[in-house]
Structure 1
Amino acid sequence: MEKEKTSAVVLAAGNGSRMHSKVKKQYMEVNGKPLIFYALQKFQESFIEEIVLVVSKGDIEYCQKEIVEKYNFSKAKKIVEGGKERYDSVRNGLHALSSDTRYVMIHDGARPFITEDILERALNGARENKACVVGMPVKDTIKIIDENKFAIETPNRSLLWLVQTPQTFEYKLILDLYDQLEEKSEELKKKGINITDDAMVVETLSDVRVKLIEGSYNNIKITTPEDIRTAEDIIRTML
């Protein structure tokens, strides 16, 4: 059987402006550990063989000493600098992976509550479909509004999902598509197409269909100070 090396690109290059803190959110302490610690710990303890950590400009040395070495994340083989846009950071991370990677999970470092079950479901989804995204059905009614904030449409809630990470792909597929995106990004912007996640790269530039599989409602992204408190509550229930 062909070896199926699975790697992870963990994104920690954001500034976290909505956190209103001098400390970047990925380094803010949650229950005594930096936020980025929790996602990296899950990947370290999982079947993932290689991690590439993507950080902000000037943070490589800090992350190497204060995150990777301090917590002995031996699977974090490389730390690379992010780019101007999220997709630039993802592409930098993808190119830093070992060429023998078969599947890659792209994950927001600000999502601390991934689990082994989620990772296994994501990998199986990528094996079966080439492209797989973790998410959950929405609980609330969603309204589409016009430019004056008047409701114009109410989509069928049963067809709507909240998209999470990891987003998992055949490595060569997503690497090739991100290289195409670099060449076509300005053209897409002129058409009003704004790439907001990795699945959208696949949807926009290929005919591969992206499979959604169940993640967890606990798999939240830490964005605001309120999210920090929610995360601390979740951690307490897990102890």
Structure 2
Amino acid sequence: MSIFVNKTSSSFPKTAALIVAGGSSLRFGGDKLMASLLGRPLITYSLLAFAKTSLISSIILVVPSKREEEFQGVIDSLNNPRLSEIIRIIPGGESRHASVQRGLIALSDSCAFVAIHDAARPLIKQDQIEGVCKAAYSVGAAALALPVAETLHRSDASGYAQETIDRHQLWSMQTPQVFRVKEMLRIIHEDKKSLRIPTDEVSALLSHGIKTMLIENRVPNIKVTYQEDLRLVRASLENSSQ
């Protein structure tokens, strides 16, 4: 059976998940995606969350080049029939942006929307995925985000506080970020010609005049970058299981 068979409700557009797992983990000091988190690799949490979400008909997992078999072994060890059926693993590029490009090109032509997610955010849950997807179906593009609560200062070159930044209407971006596939493919083609490298997909759309609805998410959705982040994620999972 094709991995792109759509098992979602016919009332919603066909949607793929593009999970980016191609980072170097230099700041973490080890392979964060394979780090043990309550007995299994960190990456498995986001994979299972998307596999559980009925709106998601296929998953593209972009991994570091030459590590496809290693990640396939992790997936096989989960013994999750739906995940095994709908996932496809491909090698990434030299940067996150390049990996996203490869993932988009690998999508089935029948996919209308794509939910792009950082594999290093293991706390993502089914209801968050469904909420941001449905918002994107309504307005064309949507992303999870959190309003900035802390005071922000801009520093000078020496590291001294120089000015206070008004945090009103400032948001800290998260993933998933959900968009129309055709729009994203058009944008990456145009950006490739201009050599523009956006910091995330919302930035890419903004540079082309396309607005993205920000969906407030106050449920923990930590991106694991440092060892301290892993400890916070572990504590959050332990608390939620009690």
Give the structure-2-normalised TM-score.
0.89
**Aligned equivalents of 1:9 and 1:166: distance in 2?**
9
Tell me by how many angstroms 1:151 deviates: 2.7
Structure 1 residue matching 2:131: 3-state secondary structure:
helix
Which residue does 2:37 correspond to in 1? 30
Query: Hey, what's the Cα distance between the residues in 2 that align with 1:227 and 1:200?
Result: 25
Are positions 1:16 and 2:16 aligned together?
A: no
Which residue of the partner structure matches residue 210 of structure 2?
Answer: 208
Name which of 55, 71, 80 aligns with 2:63. Answer: 55
State the Cα distance separating 1:100 from its structure 2 match: 0.5
Extract unaligned runs of 5+ from structure 1: 189-193
Deviations 1:86-111 (A, max 9, x none): 11000101111111111110000000
Query: Please, what is the CA RMSD of the aligned residues?
Result: 1.6
> For residue 110 of structure 1, what is the aligned residue in structure 2?
120
Identity, in percent, stands at 33
Q: Which residue of the other structure, out of 32, 44, 52, is the alignment partner of 2:51? A: 44
Q: Name the SS for the 1:132 alignment partner.
A: strand
1:76 to partner: Cα distance:
4.1
Alignment of 1:37-186 (within 5 A): 37-47=44-54, 48-65=56-73, 67-71=74-78, 72=80, 73-185=83-195
Counterpart CA distance in 2 for 1:121 and 1:155 is 31
Aligned length: 228
Query: What's the CA shift string for 1:181-211, capped at 9, x where partnerless?
Result: 22221xx4xxxxx52111111111x221121
**Aligned position for 1:191:** none
Q: In structure 1, what is the equivalent of residue 221 of structure 2?
A: 219
Normalised TM-score (structure 1): 0.90
Contact 1:136 1:217 in 2 (8 A): no
- Is the 1:49–1:75 Cα contact (8 Å) retained in structure 2? no
Indicate how the Cα distance of structure 1 residues 140 and 234 shifts in structure 2: closer, same or farther if over 3 A, else same: same
Unaligned runs of 5+ in 2: 1-9
Q: 2:7 maps to what in 1?
A: none
Alignment-mate amino acid for residue 69 of structure 2: E
The partner residue of 1:234 within 227, 233, 236 is: 236
1:199 to 168, 189, 202: 202
- Following the alignment from structure 1 to structure 2, what is the Cα–Cα distance between the partners of residues 214 and 75? 32
* Other structure's SS at 1:158 match: coil
User: How big is the shift at 1:229?
Assistant: 0.8
